[in-house]
Structure 1
Amino acid sequence: MSFSSGGRGDDDENRVFVNFNHESTSLVVGTRNRFRLYNIKDVDNLELLYEDDSDYTVIAERLFSSSLLAIVSLSSPRKLRVCHYKKRTEITSFSYTNTILAVKLNRLRLIVCLEDSIFIYNITDLKFIHSIRQTQRNPNGIIALAPSNEQCYLAYPAKQDKGEVNIFDAHKLDNKLTITAHDNPLVSLTFDTQGTKLATASDRGTVIRVFDTSTGDCIYEFRRGYARCVSIYSLSFSPDSQFLCASSNTETVHIFKLNETQPQDDNLAVMFKSYVKKICQTAGYFDSVADMMNQWRSFATVKLPLVNPGSRTICSISYSNQRSNVLIATTDGYLYVYDLNLNDGGDCTLIRQHRLIDDLPDDNDGQRSASLSSTSTTTATMSTTNTTKTTSSSHHLIQSPSSSSSSPLDR
């Protein structure tokens, strides 16, 4: 999941794009006049891998930890550029008749999502191989692609006004199944690392469900809240698929734990549930309350510091240097690192904050620094030679995509 601040008609001065790669080992950041790629394996000291003074980036996807980047800019929203950032060259580009809303990559496929169609390419030679035409209108570009080669699944909304999701086998190029996930329209989808689980959220934002991609069965149901509807911004599984984190338009990021079986209630909890159910039966809404009681609450939570109005967040769980962390990148240009206790959960502790864009104004910077006075704060920088813009080497229309002589993964 990736985000830029505001819609594409907003003032460019305050635009920031942020996105993690598959393993959450790197982070791309784009502003009105700069694009940066950070190595975040060491969350204490970020390394700036690449910087380019270029037009504002609205979409950027890195293929795992390779040199391959897929980029869409604000000035050319219908053009996808595939670049090799280490060589600072453009491998190829594709143009479309409508605005590109999302791009996804794995080691088999490159996926491009427009509002009413999806295009699929072979990642090794970037040849066009399949299209899914006349899909339900998807104005927000809600899609997910599993990182796995074995379960190379693509998920996208089956209906615009209802929470149904199609799962398409992007390897075999065939429909797999359709899942009725929610009563309301979908706002977020994500696969786990192996492609065996799919997490979904609707525009109500109260319930997050996890489905088995082989059967379509709902295997977990998590409740983020009861009464207050929120906008879910991002969903992300941990590398071992044991945890799922969710960020929204609130200051709280929820982390849910996936267990093989639901923990049994103690005697007091059983008595309380029985008492409440009897009351609800007489009131005529037994089923809805029973459903809520069967939904699990968050295992751990993150409380974000002051965030600028309109800023959005993406979250991820990373395991590195024998540490478990929750990473939250914001569209006002910050990366927050929280410690996650895998055994006890609870409130996560903020251990590091990084300013990703040093030349971006922040009206709340003083208040933010005051609220984080006990936490180490850094501005991510790098001493290196001057970078140059990528140079175009080829351009292809979608009607006749061309192939490369060698795999971009080898370059």
Structure 2
Amino acid sequence: MLAGAPSSHMSSSVSTSQGIFPTSRIGSGESPNSGASSFTQPIADMNENDETDLLSISWNQDYGCFAAGTSHGFRIYNCEPCKETFRRDLKSGGFKIVEMLFRCNILALVGAVANSHYPPNKVLIWDDHQSRCIGEFTFRSDVRGVKLRRDRIVVVLEHKIYVYNFTDLKLLHQIETLANPRGLCCLSHHSNTFVLACPGLHKGHVRVEHFGLNVTKLINAHDSQIACFTLTLDGLLLATASVKGTLIRIFNTMDGSRLQEVRRGVDRAEINSIALSPNVQWLAASSDRGTVHVFSLRVRVSGEDSLTQPNAFQGPALFHQNSSSSLDPLISPNTGANPNSSLSFMRGVLPKYFSSEWSFAQFHLPEYTHFIVAFGSQNSVIIVGMDGRIESLERICPLGGVRLSTSMLPK
């Protein structure tokens, strides 16, 4: 159910200040004009001998930074070069969710179970420049995820998603979903498009909301339950994987058509993350099998606000038109970058996986460790693990080499 106004039965309450203006960058001399009260549990340096557990890792919207929630607070890291930007430790405990807003001073925080002051059913909008909480959301059940845009705050519960206006924290939309314990939800991040993808009400379905066009699209992505998905920055393409973890599918979010299907493998695996390169030339996926697979995409998209990305890739072009209603996705000729089985000529006779598109590059990591992936600059894939490991797959190219650099996050 999608509603445009708060319901009298809504399961949340909001505490806000005079307003939120997410404009300042972390570390800058600017400060949002907010009159909220300060954090009631002071930030303090912990004893260096105290053991710190890593609870979560999440990228910012342009994948230039990532946030780590720890048992004592949170830390922010720059990706290239990899270095810790800053950390905050609380006496009351840590955070299971830390969501950045690009590189500005505003973050969304959700406390871990062991946090004595900020429980897991509360979302804090935290201004790190002023070291104060400038807004709170309290719910009747635990928060499963939080996503931020410059103009919206999205809170994910197990069966419902709330969309709030960033400036005044007004509730704008409510979306009901199938049970969503993973907190699956993703947003577009171009300023002129607002696309939200979340689980639908039926197994294997993804619901896509084009809020600017007032269009809802239900995509029957898989027969099994959805395990992971992601959008391109403009929201025009959706990549999905099911709990089987064998296939990854790419869809046009405007008409729901399937554009491409690639195969991770034939054995069941848990897909931990999927990343699409900014120019939509490559897709990377990590799994609990200890592998990161890189696939070549053969998708060309025409649509509104597909911004040109300056990069070193020479991949499929993104053509631009003036209206999303004239979106015309095309499949470009297969370049052969994703190898097919040598028995693919017997398509329709042998099982389907003999004709599948396979990854052109794989990288092996420790099994059963949760890794998340993103595309960095200079033709690289960045991999960060819950074991504190950060990897960089450099010079990703079907015809080139792959070089690995490894470092560990600071303790």
TM range (shorter): 0.7 to 0.9
Residue number in structure 1 paired with 2:224? 184
The structural deviation recorded for 1:338 is 2.0
Cα deviation code 1:102-153 (max 9, x no counterpart)? 11112232110111111001123332222124x3222221111122233311
Match of 1:132 among 175, 183, 189: 175
Quick one: structure 1 residues 51 and 157, their matched pair in 2 at CA, closer, same or farther if it must change by over 3 Å?
same
Residue 403 of structure 2 aligns with an amino acid whose one-letter code is T
Report the equivalent of 2:405.
351
1:241, distance to aligned residue in structure 2 (A): 2.0
- Aligned to 2:392, which of 314, 325, 337? 337
Whether the aligned pair in 2 keeps the contact of 1:31 and 1:57 (CA below 8 Å) is yes
For residues 120 and 185 of structure 1, the distance between their equivalents in structure 2, rounded to whole angstroms, comes to: 24
Greater relative CO (CA pairs within 8 A, separation 6+):
1
1:16/1:333 contact within 8 Å kept: no
Distance 1:217 1:53, change over 3 A: same
1:211 aligns with 2:251: yes
Does residue 157 (structure 1) correspond to residue 199 (structure 2)? The answer is yes
Task: In structure 2, list runs of 5 or more residues that go unmatched.
Answer: 1-50, 300-331
Write the letter of the residue equivalent to 1:352: T
Q: How does 1:169-180 map to 2 (within 5 A)?
A: 169-171=210-212, 174-180=214-220
AA of the residue aligned to 2:169: L
Report the Cα offset of residue 345 of structure 1: 5.3
Give the one of 249, 270, 281 matched to 1:231: 270
Per-residue CA deviation, residues 247-275 of structure 1 (Å, 9 max, x unaligned), is 0101210111112424267xxx898433x
Residue in 2 that maps onto 1:249? 288
Decide whether the 8 Å contact of 2:344 with 2:355 is kept in 1. Answer: no
Q: What's 2:150 paired with?
A: 107
- Residue in structure 2 matched with residue 167 of structure 1 by the alignment: 208
- Match status 1:69 vs 2:107: yes
Choose which of 23, 48, 56 in structure 1 pairs with 2:94.
Answer: 56
1:26–1:39 contact (8 Å) kept in structure 2? yes
- The equivalent residue for 2:164 is 121
- The number of residues matched between the two structures is 321
SS in 1 for 2:387: coil
Moved more, 56-65 or 200-209: 56-65
8 Å Cα contact 1:252/1:303 also seen in 2: yes
**Corresponding residue for residue 359 of structure 2:** 298
Query: Which residue matches 1:328?
Result: 383
Q: Is the 8 A contact 1:106 1:148 kept in 2?
A: no
Q: Could you tell me how far apart the structure 1 residues matched to 2:398 and 2:226 are?
A: 32
Distance 2:228 2:400 in 1: 24
Which residue of structure 2 aligns with residue 4 of structure 1? none
What is the alpha-carbon distance in structure 1 between the residues aligned to residue 81 and residue 361 of structure 2? 23
Task: Pick closer, same or farther for the CA change 1:17–1:294 going to 2, 3 Å.
Answer: same
How big is each residue's C-alpha offset from its partner over 1:136-171, in whole Å with a ceiling of 9 and x where there is no partner?
2222211111222333111111145x2111111244
* Conservation of the 8 A alpha-carbon contact between 2:65 and 2:76: yes
Which residue identity does 1:243 align to in structure 2?
A: W
Percent identical among aligned pairs is: 30
**What's the C-alpha RMSD, in Å, of the aligned pairs?**
2.5
In 2 relative to 1, CA 192–294 (structure 1 residues): closer, same or farther, beyond 3 Å? farther
TM-fit CA distance, 1:78 = 0.6
Shift in CA distance, 271/190, structure 1 to aligned 2, threshold 3 Å: closer
Is the Cα–Cα contact under 8 Å of residues 151 and 196 in structure 1 kept in the other structure?
A: no
Amino acid at match of 1:164: H
Question: Aligned AA for 1:111?
Answer: V
**In the alignment, is the contact (CA less than 8 A) between 2:71 and 2:94 conserved in 1?**
yes
Any stretches of 5+ residues in structure 1 without a counterpart?
Answer: 1-11, 359-411
Question: Among residues 79, 86, 100, which one is paired with 1:40 in the alignment?
Answer: 79
1:21 to 2:60 alignment: yes
Letter in 1 for 2:172: I
**TM-score (structure 2 length as normaliser):** 0.72
Aligned match of 1:316: 374
Q: Deviations over 1:274-310 (max 9, x none)?
A: 3x44xx74xxxx5x42xx3443211322222x46xx5
Q: What is the SS of the residue equivalent to 2:344? A: helix
Deviation at 1:16, TM superposition (A): 2.7
Question: Are 1:96 and 2:139 an aligned pair?
Answer: yes
| Dislocated runs of 4+, deviation >6 Å | none
The CA distance in 2 between the partners of 1:315 and 1:271, in whole Å, is 30
